[in-house]
Amino acid sequence: MSPVLSVFCAVALLLFLMVLSPRWMGFRAQRPQDYAGKGPAMDPRKHLSGPILCEGVIYGPTGRVTSRFVAEMEGTWHGNKGVLKERFQYDTGTIQNREWRLSLGNDGTLKAEADDLVGHGTGTVEGPSVQMLYKLRLPAEAGGHVLNVTDWMYLCENGTIMNRSQFTKFGIKVAELVATMRPMPV
């Protein structure tokens, strides 16, 4: 095999492993139906309601923690329509306020809107999980980039929600968020 062909094959394999394989293996390969009947049923109207404490970390593209945060959230629902207000305080002292506007379909579908989304997010509630897919526009001070987000929430038996989100640009993971969400201690 010629050196040029060897290099081409190596580059093609590397691209496959970096870009294409996550679509069939790993975090992005999971589907809502994988969680049907596998634990306590997640009901966003119940589990994303009232005061919620959230704590988490954000990992950068190298896998190192780039930011830590604590957030106070407040969820209110009127039938199948809900609002989740969030107030994040980052380790830098920066405060960020966000608001999700949610619509839950009778078939377990979820539609989400927020001021920093491009269009709206779509999701599915299945068993103890919620999957959300959306495009997020970063603030101008963070470059204003639009990232594709795959967001999963998993309900634990004690009522805590584990949240894991991956952020990609051109199919390459650029950040990951891991957080817990639980009712605010009284």
3-class DSSP string for 30-61:
CCHHHHCCCCCCCCHHHHCCEEEEEEEEEECC
Calpha distance 85→21 (Å, rounded): 36
pLDDT score for 125: 95
- Mean pLDDT confidence for 7-18: 72
- Mean pLDDT confidence for 19-35: 68
Query: Is this prediction's pTM over 0.85?
Result: no
Q: Residue 183 corresponds to which tokens in the numbers above?
A: 């009712």
**Residue 39 clears pLDDT 90, i.e. is over it:** no
What does pLDDT average to over the chain? 90
Matching residue, tokens 């967001």: 151
Beta strands in 43-160 (DSSP E): 50-59, 65-78, 81-90, 95-104, 109-113, 121-126, 129-137, 146-155
- Mean pLDDT confidence for 103-128: 95
Task: Write the DSSP symbol of residue 63.
Answer: S
**Residue 93 clears pLDDT 90, i.e. is over it:** yes
Between 3-17, 18-32, 79-93, 132-146, the lowest mean confidence (pLDDT) is in 18-32
Position 38 confidence tier, pLDDT thresholds 50, 70, 90? confident
- Mean pLDDT confidence for 72-76: 98
- Residue 38 and residue 127 in contact, taking contact as beta carbons nearer than 8 Å: yes
Task: Write the DSSP symbol of residue 167.
Answer: E
| Share above pLDDT 70 across residues of the chain, in percent, rounded to a whole number | 93
**Tens-digit pLDDT profile for residues 128-164:** 999 999 999 998 888 889 999 999 999 999 999 999 9
Residue 124's closest CA among 133, 137, 135?
Answer: 133
| Terminal Cα-to-Cα distance of the chain (whole angstroms) | 69
Classify domain 34-183 by CATH number: 2.40.128.20
Domain coordinates of the chain in residue numbers? 1-30, 34-183
**Residue 17 clears pLDDT 70, i.e. is over it:** no
Q: Which position has the higher pLDDT, 29 or 146?
A: 146
- Mean pLDDT confidence for 18-38: 69
pLDDT score for 1: 65
Position 20 confidence tier, pLDDT thresholds 50, 70, 90? low
pLDDT score for 25: 64
Matching residue, tokens 């704590």: 55
Matching residue, tokens 């394999």: 13
